[in-house]
């Protein structure tokens, strides 16, 4: 096995205290996607959007990686194959756990982006609508997050990794959001063995050749242990 590609979603960070989106009591049951996760919502009410991400940024900075994050870092460190994590998550718990090859396809809470000139910089703890861009001075700061209707980041690299994958695993994701939900089909088409690890079957469970259900902190370390035993 030369390449292992792992897609992660909000479920892997749930036991670190970071809410998921679509589970009971999840973020999308408390906030309207149209208001806080679209460019149109940002234009309508940037203060509301900043308050939403400022609260998530504060929570994420206080969160610690759990044993599922550390197991994936161990896999990268100990397995002879090239291990790549493609995450939909905007927290940095993979990196804090020690993973080095992590692609944030939906952006990062720790990043700021100028909606006017495209300049990027480290996010302040809390953003305000009139914060000026350090490059063009325009008060057009936004979280460096990919919103609905926008193109995810790193897609060319991601397609390359999916093309070379011998093993593709999806961990803690509901399979509701594209293009991530279709990665299993791309990997399968290219001959990869595909594995779903989730609390419950996702919306695309039938696309996987192997499945494991349970809490990420229980099933991921076990799965990694078995992979390392070979
Ligand atoms: N262990 C394993 N899986 C879990 C756990 C846990 N402790 N808790 C929840 N899950 C699973 C749920 O069963 C669900 O299938 O994690 C999944 C979380 O699904 P979503 O809330 O839909 O999150 P995700 O798939 O990451 O969402 C994708 O949608 O809202 C957008 O941009 C946002 O990146 C996000 C994207």
Question: pLDDT digits over 188-217, tens only?
Answer: 999 999 999 999 999 999 999 999 999 999
d(CA 193, CA 169): 8
d(CA 152, CA 163): 18
Determine the atom of ligand 1 nearest the C-alpha atom of 200: 13
Would the pTM of this model clear 0.95, i.e. be above it? yes
Cα–ligand 1 centroid distance for 225 (angstroms): 23
Q: The tokens of 165 are what?
A: 């994958």
Residues of the chain with pLDDT under 70: none
What's the pLDDT score for residue 230?
Answer: 82
d(CA 75, CA 83): 7
106 is catalytic: yes
What's the pLDDT score for residue 108?
Answer: 98
What's the pLDDT score for residue 105?
Answer: 98
Cα radius of gyration (the chain): 18
Catalytic residue among 106, 119, 161, 193: 106
What's the pLDDT score for residue 18?
Answer: 98
What's the pLDDT score for residue 85?
Answer: 98
d(CA 24, CA 17): 15
The CB of 22 under 6 Å from ligand 1? The reply is yes
């Amino acid at each position: 096995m030369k390449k292992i590609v792992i897609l992660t979603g909000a479920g892997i960070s749930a036991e670190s205290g970071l809410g998921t989106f679509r589970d009971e009591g999840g973020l999308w049951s408390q906030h309207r996607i149209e208001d806080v996760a679209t460019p149109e919502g940002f234009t309508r009410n940037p203060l509301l959007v900043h308050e939403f991400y400022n609260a998530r940024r504060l929570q994420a900075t206080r969160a610690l990686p759990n044993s599922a994050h550390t197991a994936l870092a161990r896999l990268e460190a100990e397995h002879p194959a090239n291990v790549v994590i493609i995450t939909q998550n905007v927290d940095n718990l993979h990196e804090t756990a020690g993973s080095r090859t992590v692609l944030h396809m939906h952006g990062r809470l720790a990043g700021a982006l100028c909606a006017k000139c495209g300049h990027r910089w480290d996010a302040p703890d809390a953003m305000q609508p009139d914060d000026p861009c350090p490059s063009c001075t325009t008060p057009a700061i936004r979280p460096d997050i990919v919103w609905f209707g926008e193109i995810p980041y790193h897609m060319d690299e991601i397609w390359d990794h999916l093309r070379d994958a011998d093993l593709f695993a999806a961990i803690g994701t509901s399979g509701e959001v594209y293009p991530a939900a279709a990665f299993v089909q791309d990997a399968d088409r290219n001959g990869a063995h595909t594995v779903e690890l989730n609390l419950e079957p996702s919306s695309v469970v039938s696309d996987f050749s192997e499945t494991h259900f349970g809490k990420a902190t229980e099933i991921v370390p076990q799965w990694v242990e078995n992979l390392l035993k070979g």
